[in-house]
């Protein structure tokens, strides 16, 4: 592994100074800082030569070449406002969102909590975003050409029996601007959302999404669909979900969202980071045994180091996403992963 230079340690030090600020303020300031250093050319000086692994070939879900297998998960850039500056960090792809048809403010604050000891984040954000139209405008303006996934969800006040309308609406809006679309039915922070994974809703929802994908692909280039799942599903339920995904010829699965099973003092919300790693890896291995190479897998959850990244690749992930690890370690984590001896 190539050793990080002084500039990388400086970036890491800057990252860690944000940990002394309230979580959402730190999040917004950090993204603003990355954008300013990018637009002024400072980021290029700090990073030096762009990180780059050997290219991996086209595959069934990409329909294109990804520079590397490492990406940024949804939630960091909810409205697609930071695509160009985040892509300059060297990642192979970015997933933006989760976005909903209409703008919504999310759950009441405080709703994001950092645990430096455990290297974890607890969030109950609730799909705060500016709406799908605002995201589309940002996708149109981006200059970066790296693959962009778009995570879509339903508005908090849309009943589950009508949730399909929100997903189909967002699909139509983002389809031509997306490298793949992630169907988020597993966030724990929108009341009742995870019920969409149940038999009562899942089959009908997947069927309608597949029909819409086929319809849109007659006009635009084919865009793969991924279903993002919860790490809290019981094995028998997870097996049923995988069977439905396979039956409706959905292109892939994202493993996984945040977990509700924890003892965090700040109460209800989805936990991510180091405590999620083992559970997410168990679900990844379980799903891989069920689907084999039939559908593609993006792995997320608990990637805090290069070795964590390699564990997910070895378990069968086609691509891997970071979020909480990036919050705690900054660009150094990307450096460590992309310069490790990875496939």
Q: Distances from the Cα of 100 to the Cαs of 90, 133, 230, 242, 273, in angstroms? A: 28, 9, 19, 25, 25
Instruction: Give just the sign of the alpha carbon dihedral 161, 111, 232, 225.
Output: positive
User: Is 280 a member of any domain?
Assistant: yes
Q: Other C-beta atoms within 10 Å of 211: how many?
A: 12
Could you list the active site residues?
A: 187
Instruction: Name the nearest CA neighbour of 199 among 243, 252, 257.
Output: 243
User: Is 312 a member of any domain?
Assistant: yes
User: Is 49 a member of any domain?
Assistant: no
> What's the domain range around 255?
58-329
Mean pLDDT value across residues 293-304: 95
Instruction: Name the nearest CA neighbour of 224 among 251, 202, 246.
Output: 251
Q: Which residues contact 236 (CB under 8 A, 6 or more apart)?
A: none
User: Is 148 a member of any domain?
Assistant: yes
Q: What is the CATH number of the domain that holds 276?
A: 3.20.20.70
Q: Is the peptide bond before 110 cis (omega within 30 degrees of 0)?
A: yes
Q: What is the pLDDT of residue 62?
A: 47
Taking only the tens place, the pLDDT of each residue in 178-201 is 999 999 999 999 999 999 999 999
Which string of DSSP letters, residue by residue, matches 226-250?
A: EEEE-TT--HHHHHHHHHHHHHTT-
Q: What is the pLDDT of residue 153?
A: 98
Taking only the tens place, the pLDDT of each residue in 101-148 is 999 999 999 999 999 899 999 999 999 999 999 999 999 999 999 999
User: Is 271 a member of any domain?
Assistant: yes
User: Is 13 a member of any domain?
Assistant: no
Structurally, how many domains does the chain consist of?
Answer: 1
User: Is 18 a member of any domain?
Assistant: no
User: Is 48 a member of any domain?
Assistant: no
Sheet holding 120-123, edge to edge: 112-115, 120-123, 270-273
For the entire predicted model, the pTM comes to: 0.92
Does pLDDT of 53 surpass 90? Answer: no
57 falls in which pLDDT band (50, 70, 90)? very low
CB 26 within 8 A of CB 14: no
For residue 60, the surrounding DSSP H or E stretch is none
């Amino acid at each position: 592994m190539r050793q990080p230079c002084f500039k990388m340690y400086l970036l890491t030090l800057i990252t860690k100074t944000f940990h002394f600020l309230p979580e959402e303020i730190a999040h917004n300031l950090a993204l603003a800082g990355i954008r300013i250093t990018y637009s002024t050319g400072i980021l290029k000086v700090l990073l030096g030569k762009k990180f780059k692994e050997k290219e991996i070939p086209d595959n069934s879900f990409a329909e294109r070449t990804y520079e590397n297998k490492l990406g940024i998960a949804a939630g960091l850039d909810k409205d697609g406002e930071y695509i160009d500056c985040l892509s300059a960090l060297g990642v192979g792809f970015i997933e933006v969102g989760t976005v909903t048809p209409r703008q919504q403010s999310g759950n009441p604050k405080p709703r994001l909590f950092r645990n430096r000891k455990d290297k974890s984040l607890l969030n109950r954000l609730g799909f705060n975003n500016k709406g799908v139209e605002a995201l589309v405008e940002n996708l149109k303006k981006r200059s970066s050409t790296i693959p962009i996934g778009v995570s879509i969800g339903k508005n908090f006040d849309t009943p589950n029996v009508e949730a399909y309308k929100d997903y189909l609406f967002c699909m139509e809006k983002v389809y031509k601007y997306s490298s793949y679309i992630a169907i988020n039915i597993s966030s724990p922070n929108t009341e009742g959302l995870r019920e969409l994974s149940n038999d009562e809703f899942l089959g009908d929802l997947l069927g309608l999404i597949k029909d819409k994908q086929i319809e849109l692909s007659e006009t635009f280039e084919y865009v793969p669909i991924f279903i993002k799942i919860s790490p809290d599903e019981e094995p028998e339920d997870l097996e049923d979900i995988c069977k439905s995904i396979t039956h409706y010829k959905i292109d892939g699965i994202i493993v996984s969202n945040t977990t509700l099973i924890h003892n965090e003092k700040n109460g209800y919300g989805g936990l991510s980071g180091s405590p999620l790693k083992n559970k997410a890896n168990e679900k990844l291995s379980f799903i891989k045994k069920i689907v084999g190479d039939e559908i593609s897998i993006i792995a997320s959850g608990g990637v805090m180091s290069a070795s964590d990244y390699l564990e997910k690749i070895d378990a069968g992930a086609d691509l891997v996403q970071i979020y909480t690890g990036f919050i705690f370690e900054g660009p150094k984590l990307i450096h460590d992963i992309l310069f490790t001896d990875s496939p």
